[in-house]
Chains A and B, each alone.
Chain A
Amino acid sequence: GEDVEQSLFLSVREGDSSVINCTYTDSSSTYLYWYKQEPGAGLQLLTYIFSNMDMKQDQRLTVLLNKKDKHLSLRIADTQTGDSAIYFCAEGRGGADGLTFGKGTHLIIQP
């Protein structure tokens, strides 16, 4: 079956870079996603990467994909207090399978 794994917590200092890691098992995944969830809110799509890409950059966000190892990472440059949230990695092919989410990584920002 499909499985997406993430570490539960990451603590970084304000201004440093945060790197959130994710591994997945479904080699047929077409797209991989990063979502952000703030307390009491729904999920906000941050970025995504197509499975034939290695890297995607979008302002402070950099996504790296190692398809061979089924490893995905999200780097947030110059982490700010507003980045404090739970970050979910998700993989999917759309349609009948929906998206399969990890359990989320709590990003904690230290002043």
Chain B
Amino acid sequence: DTGVSQDPRHKITKRGQNVTFRCDPISEHNRLYWYRQTLGQGPEFLTYFQNEAQLEKSRLLSDRFSAERPKGSFSTLEIQRTEQGDSAMYLCASSLADGSNEKLFFGSGTQLSVL
């Protein structure tokens, strides 16, 4: 399977703990996105990378959130001192930005529950 993969699928944590999620994009894609989706809502943009450079961050991304893509391949999203309001589905997407239509391909997401 050469799609976008995310790990873990589910994460349950206690308030105040740190969590880290991983995303492996489609191998030839140069852009990688993180989105957050809460119940009854569409995905909301968090941040994106062009190769290893993080080019944009949403105001939704507080100081407790950090994302990396060290070698321009996989990416990690870390949430420090989790809060109950962080409970959501975290979706990763990748795309090949080649100057024409940019199609985002999504992974299955990581469902985070903060108790």
Contacts and interface: CB of A to CB of B under 8 A. Distances in A.
Given A41-B108, A42-B106, A94 B42 contact: no
Contacts, number: 67
19 contacts: A35-B106, A40-B111, A41-B109, A42-B91, A42-B107, A42-B108, A43-B43, A43-B91, A44-B106, A45-B104, A95-B50, A95-B102, A96-B55, A99-B43, A99-B104, A100-B45, A103-B40, A103-B41, A104-B41
B45 A31 contact: no
A4 interface: yes
Interface of B: 4, 6, 31, 33, 35, 40-45, 48, 50, 55-56, 91, 93, 95, 97, 101-109, 111
B98 to A, nearest CB: 10
Given A31-B101, A43-B91, A103-B42, A98 B106 contact: no
Given A41-B108, A45-B105, A98 B35 contact: yes
Main SS at interface, chain B? strand
Interface string A17-60: 00000000000000101010000111111001010000000000
B51 to A, nearest CB: 13
Nearest to B31: A95
Q: How large is the interface on A (under 10, 10 to 19, 20 to 34, 35 or more residues)?
A: 20 to 34
